[in-house]
Amino acid sequence: MKYFIGINQKVWLDKYPKVDLETALIFDIIKNFCAVRNNKIKKFILDNEEYTWINYQMIIDELPMLKFRSKGSISPRVNLLKKIGLIKTFRAPEGSIYIRLTEKASELIFDIPVYKNEQAVHIDEHPVHVDEQPPVHLNEQHNHTTNINHTTISNINILAVATATAEEINKIITLFKEVSPFSYKDYYKNLTERKSSAELLSRLPMEKLEILITKFLPKINVMPYIPKNCKAFKPSELLKNLDRIIVKIKEIQQKRSEEKINIII
């Protein structure tokens, strides 16, 4: 069961005013299932597009407050989502339904309004350009020449872990637990994930990491046309892909109006 339900009512009302609440919530569940990377969730590639197996009973189980009595209540709403262009469907020979999100679905995912008392979001990192070589990460080795030797890297890793408090590390892990419940495992005792959380805190302050993890990762992670190296479902993946993710967010934000949240790198 999904414990917390959240949809952007303004976007749905502005773009799809005839869609009812139940359909919008079903879309939210489908979006989450499409983002899952788990052996229990079947996926396949068709025409270079990834489709995810969606069991209507799972949707019913995820939304008990809607009191759907049968799969017949789900089917017409899925068809409506397909009709308005938010999803594509494929029916396997045995009758299973597979679904993928369309690019049009990003309108609902990235259309986040900013209120007058809100400020722009800044991530104070040096610019990263797609055509440049990636920077040296603390947990990666590169063939190109660098002044950072293995001893220095080890010292930086130790310093990051030492300066980050257990409470801060636990908070980072909790944020991932909340935004990626389907793929989450017990990271609190996982040394790699705790170390990665500490190193993330050495790259960005907590408040900006929280915005990145809670506002942007859930949206980027469910978009099938964004490459996997621009996604993150756990702290170690965010640390590894951080620069690419920031670049991708900047690219997406450039396509939005000036009234929307802007990330200035």
| Burial track 128-164 (b if 16+ CB lie within 10 A, e otherwise) | beeeeeeeebbeeeeeeeeeeeeeebeeebeebbeeb
Report how far apart, in Å, the C-alpha atoms of 114 and of each of 35, 59, 215, 257, 258 are. Answer: 25, 31, 12, 11, 10
- CATH fold, domain 9-108, is Arc Repressor Mutant, subunit A (1.10.10)
More confident residue, 148 or 182: 182
For residue range 85-130, what is the model confidence (pLDDT) as tens digits?
Answer: 999 999 888 888 999 998 888 777 655 443 334 344 444 444 433 3
pTM summary value: 0.46
Q: Which residue has the higher pLDDT, 21 or 225?
A: 21
Residue 85 zone, left/alpha/beta (φ > 0; ψ -120 to 50; rest) = left
pLDDT digits (tens, 9 = 90+) for 89-101: 998 888 889 999 9
**Mean model confidence pLDDT for the chain:** 75
Q: Give the per-residue pLDDT at 20.
A: 93
Where, residue-wise, is CATH 1.10.10.10 in the chain?
9-108
Angle at 9 between CA 68 and CA 104, to 5 degrees: 90
Q: Of the ranges 225-229, 242-246, 257-261, which one carries the lowest mean pLDDT score?
A: 257-261
